[in-house]
Amino acid sequence: MIRLRPHHLLCTQGYSGKGYDSGFVAHMNEVVEQLRNVPGTKITLTFSTDTLCSCCPHKEGEDLCDTQEKVKRFDRKTVEYFGLEEKEYVYQDLIREIDEKMTPEMLADICQGCSWFPISACRRNICGGR
């Protein structure tokens, strides 16, 4: 079962092969490939460290990141905008719901301060032509 923290629902959509190091990129490629290409993939939404955090060089411990305040803000805003709960979801269904509601302004608000946001495919992949 893939565990995702709320803001990683956005990161997995904007991801385009870049990452912190080769181990992180290899792991991210594997997880994102399944999420994007295996219909019906179930995830558990967690308000803590998740499957992607496991290979991140910023992870300092369980529910502890060296940019803790920032990632918790990303998570909190994602939860507030979309009414998310810690439970199981079908990834593709949840992404469809989020993408239908997302505006460029909401995305910019959630992702403010993210070093990947300016260089990723987030805006294009999540907001499309909006």
Count the domains in the chain. 1
Give the domain range for residue 110: 2-127
Instruction: Please report, in tens digits, the pLDDT of each residue of the chain (130 residues total).
Output: 999 999 999 999 999 998 889 999 999 999 999 999 999 999 999 999 999 999 988 899 998 999 999 999 999 999 999 999 999 999 999 999 999 999 999 999 999 999 988 888 899 999 986 6
pLDDT of residue 118: 87
Widest Cα–Cα separation across the chain: 39
Structure tokens given for 92: 């593709």
Distance CA 121, CA 117 (A): 8
